[in-house]
């Protein structure tokens, strides 16, 4: 069964796209080519790791850990830099929880998140979040993006 890559921005890719073969490595290569990034070994490795399980919220540490286990030789700094490069070209969306924890989301469509305290788990909020009233932005500015993070904790 072909791996579905969120990365390929399926709205733009057709099933007959000659680049897309169903092989994850080929798809990552095509995805990198589409955004103008040279398919280096590190980028292919990080691209494959981050997209192989469908939509995910990952940190550089999680991905580096998976790289080690999958015997993809890549340093934490390289994972971090590569994730940032992917974010810059729109393949990933970055958001911070707790100020220090940076997550990268393979779903780049507009959506919001639950954060489960204690478990450090990030979940997508399905559907829209109704913002009753947006604040008036200062003159000369516009809203670039709104990230809602609803923090959850388990009930006793
Ligand atoms: Zn998400």
Q: Which residues surround ligand 1, an ion (CB under 5 A)?
A: 105, 107, 124
What residues form DSSP beta bridges with 117? none
Write the pLDDT tens digit of every residue in 88-129: 999 999 988 877 789 999 988 889 999 998 888 899 999 888
Write the pLDDT tens digit of every residue in 12-59: 444 444 445 556 666 889 989 999 999 999 999 999 888 877 788 999
The backbone torsions φ and ψ at residue 102, rounded to the nearest 5 degrees and listed phi first, read -100, 125
**139 C-alpha to center of ligand 1: Å?**
31
CB count in 10 Å sphere of residue 63 = 23
**140 C-alpha to center of ligand 1: Å?**
30
């Amino acid at each position: 069964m072909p791996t579905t890559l969120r990365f390929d921005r399926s709205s733009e890719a057709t099933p007959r796209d000659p680049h897309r073969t169903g092989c994850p490595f080929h798809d990552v290569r095509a995805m990198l080519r589409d955004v103008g990034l040279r398919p280096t070994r590190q980028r292919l490795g990080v691209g494959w790791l981050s997209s192989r399980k469908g939509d995910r919220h990952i940190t550089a540490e999680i991905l580096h850990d998976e790289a080690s286990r999958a015997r993809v030789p890549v340093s934490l700094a390289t994972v971090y830099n590569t994730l940032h490069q992917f974010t810059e070209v729109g393949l990933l969306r970055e958001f911070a929880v707790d100020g220090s924890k940076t997550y990268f989301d393979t779903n780049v469509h507009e959506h919001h998140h639950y954060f489960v305290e204690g478990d450090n788990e990030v979940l997508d909020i399905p559907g829209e979040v109704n913002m009753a009233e947006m604040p008036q932005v200062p003159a000369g500015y516009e809203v670039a993006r709104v990230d809602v993070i609803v923090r959850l904790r388990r009930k006793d």
